[in-house]
Amino acid sequence: MPIESCCLIDLPKISDPRGNLTFIEGGRHVEFDVRRVYYLYDVPGGAVRGGHGHKQLHQLIIALSGSFDVVLDDGTAKTRFHLNQPNRGLYICPMIWRELDTFSSGSVCLVLASEVYDESDYYRDYDRFQLAADAERLRMTRQK
């Protein structure tokens, strides 16, 4: 998939003097059914998370607290997103390599995923990911 398929998604924000509320509904705010939720926290300064791609998995990444950057790479282009609002998420489609870095102190990264954990869906070696991404681009070009 081209990196342009990934995008920031504004989520509903209900403001109230007692505090704000944001909600996410599968099929409405995200185009996939949420089958897994996980979160990263207490990430040490300078640590990098991610460092992998997925064959089929769709994700929405949200900075619930604090901030961090997400670097996306489709094998030909890279782009960096800075996440720092709990009512905005980054949608990541399949076949995108991702790395998360520059975590602020106390940050919490929430991830909504379209599938349960399946190790066979991962690319953990960038060279193998790039070969698969090149093959996918060629396949899509031939379909046009």
Residue with tokens 């390599």: 97
pTM: 0.93
Catalytic residues: 52
Answer whether 58's CB lies under 8 Å from 93's CB.
yes
Give the rounded distance of the alpha carbon of 5 from its chain centre: 12
Residue 127's domain is classified under what CATH number? 2.60.120.10
Q: 78 forms bridges with which residues in the sheet? A: 73
- Tens digit of each residue's pLDDT, the chain (144 residues): 689 999 999 999 999 999 999 999 888 889 899 999 999 999 998 899 999 999 999 999 999 999 999 999 999 999 999 999 999 999 999 999 999 999 999 999 999 999 999 999 999 999 999 999 999 888 877 876
Structural contact between residues 108 and 65, judged by C-beta atoms closer than 8 angstroms: yes
Range of the domain at 116: 3-143
Considering its fold, how many domains does the chain have in total? 1
Number of neighbouring beta carbons within 10 Å of residue 81: 18
